[in-house]
A and B are shown apart, each in its own frame.
Chain A
């Protein structure tokens, strides 16, 4: 990251009267043109970070730099950032076109040029022809597109989106997900969006920041976060996982009570207490019940059919493990069957081990 577009440094926000900070020393950097997802459970401070970047609230401490320049002292209306609010915040007393034109009007752009830009922006979000409608007469998806057009037409330095999809139904959400991603790529705008939906974050973002209780747990590409989570929290938040507390016995080997030896990807320091993780979809059915490392013998407790995959809940030495099987994998286990699961050492992740 030679020349990051935006840098957030040691950002802290403590609301007046609050006992502990809502955002606690968060730092990250984002290159121009990338899309960052801020992901985390409800109340972890995602909106607060976004609002500090926007200038809608003042940080308690820390720096926000845009193109290398500190922006904390610049008022909201001069920051030139676009924001898509969760409830869209379209102006109800204006038409669609007037909403989109508002930012241009504030910039004193002449009328004819304004009209052209508005038309182009509306076309981009597939709202061409609806410019004269009242925003109250738009569907949820159309309102959302209008909000996106309104924030992009000013050619913002930064596009901020606060849970832009949470008010839409599942089908529309998938469509809009692709569309937002597409628009962001085409315009090349640097974007930060907030979500607590891991699918949304994984599929839309170039970079993902996982937060918990005001702190940044990990930042990286979706792949890094998914395959090499820095903490059990991150691993559990992004996708399902089976976790095993263990102790390293030799480089690349750990002893797990009740299970035996697990060979994993990496080395570790012998004697350390560690956490290991196996994703459910990396587990496979063993053909025989011979004992050995990376084998889990147990009894199927529950089978959940989910179309392409089947999720097995297996009782292994008193521990419940989840395993995903492809439904085309031939004879499938039934509830009550005794089975043995295996996993390749590369698919056993040492939590916080840095990994691949």
Chain B
């Protein structure tokens, strides 16, 4: 009946010390691999242009250069648009799969879930090359269409933003499925039964119960895919054939081709700003959903 007492020799103060000590390795790793590089990046974005040697003076010139150049505004819009289309389609396509996996009573459920996320076992680069083989002008789809004499000229499925979208949607869908599964905790068969008892047919059960209760998962899946999509550069670069300009590809080329590290750093900081804004909006929305 009485609450379990803590053993006398282990007072709360000592517990706290142990907790702190256990946190130290993780915090150190985070500091070295994340916080210090981020600080370095922020510092670099405030340096005068040049290669990798930064002067000591601080300047906002890089941000000014990025924010006054219409090209970078276009790149920013491209990035956001890519993020939106990829997350919308990845979630739309992944939702039925995630819902099925969450609700099935099958004993193969574990295997099916593993299958759904198995593409994560191969690298995004490999899968991008796979899509190039499929979607290229002389790829599987176009040569099949040509062989059947259905088309005169190849349909442009790659080397443009359509190809980048298709490949990114497929590559990121497993993340969407995983995130949605994790966010479907409030789905409960008893609620569906209660709704049916109150007169809701299957369609209305879906609209009024399943959909609203699964929205937090949908939101989480969309956020994850959005963040991964706007920070991607391998897939947009390869599938876009150099014709798709997004922040990821531009940061990459500023850093490795033009060798303007301060500008690359400023663009990265802007991307980081977009991330933060999206995450704040996401948390607002989630709180609204869960009341």
Contacts and interface: CB of A to CB of B under 8 A. Distances in A.
Interface residues of A, number: 27
A85 B289 CA distance: 25
Nearest to B208: A102
Contact of A89 (B188, B199, B200, B201): B188
Main secondary structure of the interface of B (DSSP, over half): helix
B213 A77 contact: no
B186 A82 contact: no
B196 A154 contact: no
B191 A91 contact: yes
Given A85-B190, A87-B190, A92 B197 contact: no
Interface string A81-109: 11101010111110000000011001100
A89 B191 contact: yes
B209 A91 contact: yes
A151 interface: yes
A76 B188 CA distance: 17
Contacts of B209: 91
A286 interface: no
Contact of A76 (B186, B197, B208, B289): B197
Given A89-B194, A92-B186, A154 B199 contact: yes
B153 interface: no
A72 B34 CA distance: 63
A78 B196 CA distance: 9
A346 B25 CA distance: 80
Nearest to B289: A93
B194 A154 contact: no
B183 interface: no
A78 B197 CA distance: 8
A107 B194 CA distance: 15
A212 to B, nearest CB: 27
> Which among B195, B212, B213 has the greatest number of chain A C-beta atoms within 10 A?
B195
Nearest to B216: A93
Given A85-B190, A93-B291, A54 B199 contact: no
A89 B200 CA distance: 15
Interface of A: 54, 56, 75-83, 85, 87, 89-93, 102-103, 106-107, 134, 136, 150-151, 154
16 contacts: A76-B196, A85-B190, A89-B191, A89-B194, A91-B191, A92-B186, A93-B186, A93-B212, A93-B289, A102-B195, A102-B200, A103-B199, A106-B199, A106-B200, A134-B291, A154-B199
